[in-house]
Chain A
Amino acid sequence: MKKPVNIVIAGLGGQGVIKASDILSEAAFRSGFEVKKSEIHGMSQRGGSVTSDVRFGPQVLSPMVPPGEADFLVVLAPDQVEVNRGQLRAGGVLIAPDLIDASKLSNRKSFNVALLGALSAHLGLGEEKWRAAIHSCLPEKLHPANEQAFAEGRRAAAAKKLEP
């Protein structure tokens, strides 16, 4: 059995953590993988910590990323980086909010999708799967802004990879 890819997305309520994990799991599902996406949600109020676990691969059993076994940790809020760092395995990749320059986004609310763009540079899922996932998870009027944010994130991650 090949191990699944483990991703934890973290942020604060209202930032779009769950939406980002919806898009990610949809992109992985459309790429033919088994997928499980799990989070604790239910509170309406904004501002509290939110995390969502996404696992995909040829087989996924537990829906939760085991503690300290995340291959990728995507964090939307600067103050949530340290709280969640323990989720990452040794050698895992942190995608932190400071990677993205929010002023370059046509809509700042697409910050979550910009970070997905950055994540996508590491995952090898087809770009057309990502586009289809964005389209299926968001209303049409938000598609242009989110595609732009996704491309910006992907570009930022590629640029960072090139850094010495």
Chain B
Amino acid sequence: MNSTERQLLSGDSAIALAALHGGVALGTGYPGTPSTEILEYFSHIGGKAQWSPNEKVALEVGIGVAYGGARSLVTMKHVGVNVAADPFFSVAHTGVVGALVVVSADDPGMASSQNEQDNRRYAVAAAVPMVEPADSQEAYDFTLAAIEISERWKIPVLLRVTTRVCHTQAPVLPRAAVPPPQPHFEHDLRGRNLIPSNARPAHRRLRQKLSELTDWSETTPLNQIFSGDKKLGIITSGVCFMHAREAAPDASFLKLGFTHPLPLKKIAEFVRSVERCVVIEEGDPYLADAIRAAGLKVESKPEMFRFGELNVDRVRRILAHDPSPEPTRPPGKPPELCDGCGHHVVFQALKNLDCIVAGDIGCYALGVLPPYSAMDCCVCMGSSIGIGLGLRQVLPPAEAKRVVSVIGDSTFVHSGMTGLAEMIYNPPPTGHVVVILDNSTTAMTGHQEHPGTGRSLDHAATGKVIYEDLGKALGIEEVRVFMLGKDCAEFQQVLADALASEKQVLIIARRPCVLAAKSIREYEKCALANGGCCS
């Protein structure tokens, strides 16, 4: 394939291609829809990419890459930024040497997420510049722009995309690759050790950079004006530009690609140049609030359009002040656990024993749906263990004894391990039972590897976290491994015994995901044949 030919790419793939052409030395991340394919494609086309145990570690590795003078791309879904927020805020203060581009893939409409948070707010809160592409071509171009901005101002950049940008395929014309910088370490003790005496000047430096970036935002071509009819002006960003341009082809547009810090002078000029000015954006009124706070008169969408994605029809309604109820699509068929999935047996047993189940996120979250309806909560990754322990601490003993925490293997490595530390440190009076559903993959997001599979992102053999050893080393009273079969009775007995023991029990319920089993066998065969290397 000629790399500078026009090709059909998803936004995710376009980001990966730009990372390759822009000289990114290492891509890190944790899987999460709709961001997952970025690193998979980056690896596929020859980039070096790694899954980390979670987003925080992924970002920390990325910070190391950027401190070393190399370019770094860190990918995650929107809620991943919550996990990575601690290093994210602080690296804005220390600054970077090589580029650090953090991709936040937001999911308005929650096609596959647990909340609808709008991560544009993170750019403001952490005080970092933000770019927002509208399609695959811009995903490519803006990734390269983000690398440039990051190195010019020595600051991490937030590349904010949404499901429709990530998962839409559209043509992309790539550019020639640029040579990457040579990694090299320079000490900067005061710049990067955020003890208070260093952090105070670091904060001032950060604000100085932002003030320069504000001036730059007024002139950057990332913010574009499309002159049209002066009766209607639309200020928009991301994929909403596409919906709005289709809904109102004759209007004037200010399309913002660089959305933090905002070019308020340019915006003011635009607002004054049109008779009626409407802000079209998905999610929170991020642009509208900022523009109004600057004293400018713009229309924002009614509250009903804060929920879900926008589309051409919804934009037409906003522009027409049409408050009539929107047509609802008949509900589709929800997904189900696959036939033969090991999760069936576990949820049947939990239901039969009338357990109170602190659940977690993964395929097994389908245990909340009939026929099992056997999961009582699912809040965020890793939360099952802490929530289960909290319930055990306060419920009357008869109820407390029925509480079980259920967590997937990838989720356990992501953020369940600290929950186990809590269990031995603050043990509830009735003990506790944690079940790790070990299906040897991150199934939910499309079968990615993780530190518990013993295979790296490209499926080559690598070091492996063994949960039973980990549990024992932490000092859990009883650690059991159970190979799940088709029959529920035996597992149910193990679970019943664990509950009755009133000890701290860790049960590892093992059975490879049926959809991944064939590939897993192939990777294993391949690893044996090649002495560890498989790709």
B443 touching A66, Cβ below 8 Å: no
Q: Do A40 and B169 contact each other (CB < 8 Å), given the known contacts A45-B335, A64-B312?
A: no
B246, CB-defined interface residue at 8 Å: yes
| Inter-chain contact B333/A79, CB cutoff 8 Å | yes
A40 to B332, CA, bound (A): 13
List residues 440-478 of chain B with CB under 8 A from any CB of chain A: 443-447
By a CB distance below 8 angstroms, the chain A residues around B33 are 41-43
- Asked if B522 CB lies within 8 Å of chain A CBs, one says no
Interface residues on B, range: 35 or more
How far is A127 from B491 in the complex, measured between Cα atoms in Å? 56
- Tell whether, in the assembled complex, residue B168 and residue A36 are in contact, meaning their CB atoms are under 8 Å apart: yes
Q: Report yes or no: B168 in contact with A45, Cβ–Cβ below 8 A.
A: no
B447 & A44 in contact (Cβ 8 Å cutoff): yes
The residues of A that contact B330 with a CB separation of less than 8 Å are 82-83, 86
| Cα distance, A72 to B33, chains bound together (Å) | 28
The A/B interface has a contact count, at CB < 8 Å, of: 119
Minimum C-beta distance from A9 to chain B (A): 13
Quick one: which of A25, A36, A45 has the most chain B CB within 10 A? Answer: A45
Contact B366 A45 (CB under 8 A): yes
- Write the B314-343 contact mask toward A (1 if CB under 8 angstroms, else 0): 000000000000010111111111100100
Chain A residues in 8 Å Cβ range of B167:
38-41
Q: Provide the bound-state CA to CA distance between A64 and B336, in Å.
A: 26
Chain B proximity mask over A33-66: 1 for CB below 8 Å, otherwise 0: 0111111111111111101000000001111101
Q: For B312, give the chain A residue with the smallest CB separation.
A: A66
Which of B163, B243, B313, B341 has a CB less than 8 Å from the CB of A40? Answer: B163
Given the interface pairs A29-B8, A62-B312, A67-B327, the reply to whether A46 lies near B171 with Cβ below 8 Å is: no
Q: Chain B interface mostly helix, strand, loop or mixed? A: loop
Q: Is B135 an interface residue when CB atoms closer than 8 A count as contact?
A: yes
Q: In the complex where A43-B112, A45-B363, A86-B329 touch, is A63 in contact with B135 (Cβ < 8 A)? A: yes
CA of A82 to CA of B331, assembled, Å: 11
| Cα distance A44–B36 in the bound complex, in angstroms | 13
A152 is an interface residue with CB less than 8 A from chain B: no
Q: How many residues of A contact B (CB 8 A)?
A: 37
* A67 CA to B315 CA, complexed, in Å: 12
Contact status A63-B332, CB under 8 Å: no
Contacts of A106-150 to chain B: CB distance below 8 A: none
Contact B168 A37 (CB under 8 A): yes
Q: A26 at interface (Cβ–Cβ under 8 A)?
A: yes
- 27 A–B contacts, CB within 8 A, in A order: A12-B333, A34-B171, A36-B168, A36-B169, A37-B170, A38-B169, A39-B167, A42-B112, A42-B445, A43-B33, A43-B335, A45-B335, A46-B336, A47-B336, A48-B335, A61-B243, A62-B242, A62-B243, A62-B311, A63-B170, A64-B311, A64-B312, A66-B313, A67-B311, A79-B333, A86-B329, A86-B330
* Chain A contact residues, CB within 8 Å of chain B: 1, 12-13, 22, 25-26, 29, 34-49, 51, 60-64, 66-68, 79-80, 82-83, 86
Having A44-B444, A62-B246, A64-B164, one finds 19 other A-B pairs with CB under 8 Å, namely A12-B333, A22-B169, A36-B135, A40-B111, A40-B163, A45-B336, A47-B335, A48-B334, A49-B334, A61-B242, A63-B135, A63-B164, A66-B311, A66-B313, A67-B311, A67-B313, A80-B332, A80-B333, A86-B329
Please give the residue numbers on chain B whose beta carbons come within 8 Å of chain A beta carbons, in ascending order.
8, 33-34, 36, 111-112, 135, 163-164, 167-171, 239, 242-243, 245-246, 249, 311-313, 327, 329-338, 341, 363, 366, 443-447, 515
